[in-house]
Amino acid sequence: MGKVAVQLAVKAAEVVRTRNVVLAVELDTDDDAMDVLHREMMEVLMDQHWPHGVRAAVDITLLARYYERFADHAVVVAGETVYAVTGQEPGSSRSERVGAGMRPAVPPSYRATRPGCA
């Protein structure tokens, strides 16, 4: 899980540095590997034959959760970079975002300074 977390963080840093939208969108798929590892870890820890005791299970559960959240944050950073570059949420059309109460394609503060910008 640690290796995957580092790979995601490095990729997120690259996305921010280069503003590479394609790389940013890939991060969401890359995060699926962490989700699988997290799920597998929970299965191991919940096995009735876990031999290492409750304390170890709790510590590993917390560590696994922190890695999983770390990976989620890398995806959020990439998504915010996509929004900063394109003005659009990754994976959503403008009508879906507005209909769901999400921010419009161009932030209101930007529109206020750019007459005629939609």
pLDDT per residue of the chain (118 residues) written in tens, 0 to 9: 999 999 999 999 999 999 999 999 899 889 999 999 999 999 999 999 999 999 999 999 999 999 999 999 999 999 999 999 988 887 765 444 444 444 444 444 444 444 444 4
Kindly give the interhelix angle for 2-18 and 53-86, rounded to the nearest 10 degrees. 10
Neighbours of 73 (CB within 10 A): 14
Q: Domain spans of the chain?
A: 2-86, 93-118
pLDDT of the residue at 88? 86
pLDDT of the residue at 28? 86
Question: Which residues are CB-neighbours of 9 under 8 A, at least 6 positions away?
Answer: 70, 74
pTM: 0.71
Please tell me the distance from the alpha carbon of residue 25 to that of residue 4, in angstroms, as a whole number. 17
- For the range 56-64, what are the long-range contacts, defined as Cβ-Cβ under 8 Å and sequence gap of 24 or more? 63/1, 64/1, 64/37, 64/38
pLDDT of the residue at 112? 47
pLDDT of the residue at 92? 63
What CATH code would you report for 2-86? 1.20.58.220
Please tell me the distance from the alpha carbon of residue 7 to that of residue 43, in angstroms, as a whole number. 24
